[in-house]
Amino acid sequence: MGSESSSSTYPRFISKVPYLPDATERQTLDICFPRPLSESPPSATVWIIFIHGGAWRDPLQDSSELLPALRALLGQPVALTRIAALASLNYRLSPYPSHPTHPSTPADPSRSACHPDHLSDVLAALRYLSRTYNVGDGGGGGGGGGGGGYRYVLVGHSCGATLAMQVVASEGGRHMLDGSGLRWPAAPPEEHASLPSAVVGLEGIYELRLFARTHASVPVYGDILRGAFGGDERALVNASPGGANVAPGAYTVEVWGEGKLVVLGHSAEDTLVEEEQMDDMFGRLRGEGWAEDEGSGNIGPRRERTVRRIWMKGSHDDVWMDGVQLAGVIEKVVDELIC
């Protein structure tokens, strides 16, 4: 997302910031500040935090995936007045030894991840932003947002959308258990990440077992899922943020009190991820009390917890590559949160 500005001019870009003391090259994030943070009051601005896609393993997809939308937003001064900063996260990838130009090796810790490693990294990045920039409740402790910190919108594309909803399910639904204990990363209460005010998931994958069955005849999908989650079907069930594995109540107001809006986007031209994935997550949220909004276009203060399905254009990656579509969704969500 560029390199750190050498002067006080804005917008200011900071790239490859490690969010862990012993970070690998993938445990970094990029930040763009439209103006000095001191001029962006938490009461009137929000952070945008982006999680890239790439099937949990593609080395050519990283935090730079936000760049096209960032360029579009930087050309809209009015939209930027409500955005305090934009951060784009990297995270460790799963093995991809057959990649044609950048094959992974077992010796590379940044490309040997298996669930819940990807999610652990995203949560570590969110805790870093909370400690460093007061994003969330200001103290890194999820659940109330009462610390006067910045609200944030968590945006994900493809498996990044999966990770965005896993953040909510794992941090909000910390009571999720199976016979062997906690399914997803556990941390002391003081280290939990704050939850977002809104989630935007584009071309997301929310029910992994359905995803595996739908694409069972295409070997590459099996390779992707085995690399990211192991070979056990139960692992797919346990990791699905839209599935029955998530304990009842994980997305309710009692657990995710900060949540105001979820936008689930899909393109009919996407040949990699099926529409049923969006429908699955939509149904889960509706079942937990979220109001249905099919995108009427009305903009106003977002007081009601609403889930909305929207239709994108183009192929699986077009929705972020053209920049304009993603920027438009971000702009509208920000307007609704703080209008």
The answer, yes or no, to whether residue 143 has pLDDT greater than 60, is no
% the chain with pLDDT above 90: 73
174: confidence class by pLDDT, cuts 50, 70, 90: low
C-alpha distance from residue 205 to each of 190, 216, 237, 274, 284 (Å): 30, 15, 12, 9, 13
Q: Quick check: bond before 116 cis, omega within 30?
A: yes
User: What pLDDT band is residue 234 in, cutting at 50, 70 and 90?
Assistant: confident
Span 235-256, pLDDT tens digits? 898 889 987 667 677 899 988 9
Indicate if the pLDDT at residue 334 is higher than 70.
Answer: yes
Domains and CATH numbers, the chain: 12-139+148-294+303-338 (3.40.50.1820)
pLDDT band at 159 (very low <50, low <70, confident <90, very high): very high
Write down the pLDDT at residue 189.
52
Q: Which of 140-149, 197-206, 323-332 has the lowest mean pLDDT?
A: 140-149
DSSP assignment string, 109-126: GGG---TTHHHHHHHHHH
CB atoms within 10 A of CB 335: 16
pLDDT for 147 equals 61
Q: Provide the percentage of residues in the chain whose pLDDT is more than 70.
A: 84
Supply the residues annotated as catalytic. 158, 270, 316
> Residues 116, 187: contact at Cβ < 8 Å?
no
Asked if pLDDT for residue 206 goes beyond 70, the answer is: yes
- The CA distance from 258 to 272, in Å, is 32
Instruction: Tell me what the pLDDT averaged over the chain comes to.
Output: 87
pLDDT at position 303? 57
What's the rounded Cα separation, in Å, for the pair 315 and 313? 7
Model pLDDT, residue 7? 47
Confidence (pLDDT) at 297: 47
- Whether residue 31 has pLDDT greater than 80: yes
What pLDDT sits at residue 138?
41
274-311 residue pLDDT tens: 999 999 999 999 999 999 876 544 444 455 799 999 99
Contacts of 127 (CB under 8 A, 6+ apart): 19, 140, 191, 193
Across the strands, what pairs with 308?
263, 293
Bridge partners (DSSP) of residue 228 are none
